[in-house]
Amino acid sequence: MATLFIYRMSDQLDLFLFDENGNLSIPRLTETMEQRISPNHNGLISGEGFTNITTFVYDGVHCLECFCTTESSLGYYYQARVDQGNVTAERVQHSYYSKSNVKLTSEGNLIIKFDWTSEEKAKSRVKEMIESIGIELDSFRITDGMLRYIQGQYHWTSAKIDKILKDGDKTKKVSYTIDPSDTNSRSLVDEEYRDHGNMCHLAFEMPFPYSYKHRDTPSLINVKLYREGGHRIVINEDEFGNNEDLNIFQLYLTNELLRIKNESDGM
């Protein structure tokens, strides 16, 4: 499973990074990132920075993709030492470098992808490093209204509602699933509680945007949205037949979620 976090660039930007059309200049951004390449020793990452920087065009939009390496810690330990005949213990931090996949578009969208849950704690540091280039970022937030809008527009398979307030009912939160192959049946639990709390999780199927895809990539991709845990978006990388389809879907999903957020917030 891969976890995605979406950000939008704010108006507070370094003008050097813009082109004459008011879009983020991918060549200038690439040049800036190349000045902060991740150091490595015999292939082992030994510092923070960016690496494997590439550019491509998706649906007419210029994009940059790279890996961001950040320092993380497993905590402290006490290392025994002998100092002039005395045995002592030195408090040492156990640190390591983790990676995240980063995609930036000329339209101002940022996607940070983590392959493992344990890597997600580096999210704030990754955001700081990208902002240090001269970009200010606003987090994409999943809302109750947005989840309910998606539930009405797509085939959904599971949901969770919390903060339930219902007369005569002591239930505080409820999770429920439906058979993904049954598109006609109703969820009695959903009908019972959906108007009495806040939706905090929804799993649904998003159509793959194009017919020309790898034969092993399905037409419907499973997407999970979580308000809890920092507005997480989860997809299964194993569903995709190749990396090209995976990249296309991430960018398409980002555009769709931003559109849905704008429409649902305006309701």
pLDDT single digits (tens) 138-165: 999 999 899 989 988 999 888 888 877 6
Q: Tokens 């997480």, residue?
A: 232
Sequential pLDDT tens for the chain (267 residues): 899 999 998 866 666 777 777 788 899 999 999 999 999 988 899 999 999 999 999 888 999 999 999 998 888 999 999 988 899 999 998 889 999 999 999 999 999 999 999 899 999 999 999 999 888 899 999 998 999 899 889 998 888 888 776 665 656 677 777 766 655 556 666 666 666 678 889 999 999 998 888 999 999 999 999 988 889 999 999 999 999 999 999 999 999 999 999 888 754
Q: What DSSP string describes 61-121?
A: EEEEEEEEEEEEEEEEEEEEEEETTEEEEEEEEEEEEEEEEEEEETTSEEEEEESSGGGGG
- Rounded to whole angstroms, the Cα distance separating 131 from 103 reads 14
Residue in 66, 58, 54, 1 with CA at minimum distance from that of residue 27: 54
For residue range 50-75, list pLDDT tens digits in order. Answer: 999 999 998 889 999 999 999 988 88
- Residues paired with residue 71 on neighbouring β-strands, in sequence order: 97
Q: How does DSSP classify residue 37? A: B
Residues in Cβ contact with 217 at an 8 Å cutoff, skipping those fewer than 6 apart: 208, 239, 240, 241, 242, 245
pLDDT at 54: 95
pLDDT at 266: 55
pTM: 0.87
Question: Are residues 38 and 48 in contact, defined by beta-carbon separation less than 8 angstroms?
Answer: yes
Q: Which amino acid is at 128?
A: E
pLDDT at 41: 87
Q: Which amino acid is at 67?
A: F
pLDDT at 267: 45
